[in-house]
């Protein structure tokens, strides 16, 4: 398998993981291919993808579990309790301040995509993180 095939498979895995493990939803092959093509052609960033698919479901998600799943599913590593608590606090503070869960999710995702190891991983995949 070529390197580009491996990269595409990794990007497919990320998209599928978000739908299946975070949103608890099946993903059609058309939707999967659409997101993968848009990510690989740099029409959208990883942040755009995450916000677009997660934000409509934010009311039914636990923010702490969401954060853990992002780190495990995309970065392949556990998040420290300290970092998880920090990001939950970011979400809760934003929610208290503005009363808007989507805006609070944006703050958390911006922090997540700012992670140095995620930036390095996205660069290797040839996709834009933000």
**Contact indicator for 102, 55 with CB cutoff of 8 Å:** yes
The whole-angstrom separation of Cα 101 and Cα 99 is 7
List of domains in the chain: 3-125 (1.10.3130)
Cα 36–chain centre separation: 13
| pLDDT tens-digit map of 24-59 | 999 999 999 999 999 999 999 999 999 999 999 999
**Contact indicator for 26, 56 with CB cutoff of 8 Å:** no
pTM: 0.93
Q: Where are the alpha helices (DSSP H) in the chain?
A: 3-17, 29-40, 46-54, 63-70, 81-98, 101-113, 116-125
The mean pLDDT of the chain is 95
């Amino acid at each position: 398998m070529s390197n580009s095939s491996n990269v595409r498979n990794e990007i497919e895995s990320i998209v599928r993981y978000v739908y299946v493990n975070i949103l608890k939803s099946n993903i059609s092959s058309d939707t999967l291919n659409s997101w993968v093509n848009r990510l690989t052609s740099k029409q959208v960033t990883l942040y755009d993808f995450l916000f677009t698919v997660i934000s409509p479901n934010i009311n039914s998600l636990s923010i702490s579990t969401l954060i853990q799943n992002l780190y495990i599913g995309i970065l392949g590593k556990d998040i420290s309790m300290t970092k998880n608590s920090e990001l939950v606090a970011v979400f809760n503070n934003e929610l208290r301040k503005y009363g808007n869960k989507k805006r609070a999710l944006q703050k958390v995702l911006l922090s997540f995509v700012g992670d140095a190891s995620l930036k390095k991983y996205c660069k290797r995949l040839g996709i834009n993180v933000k």
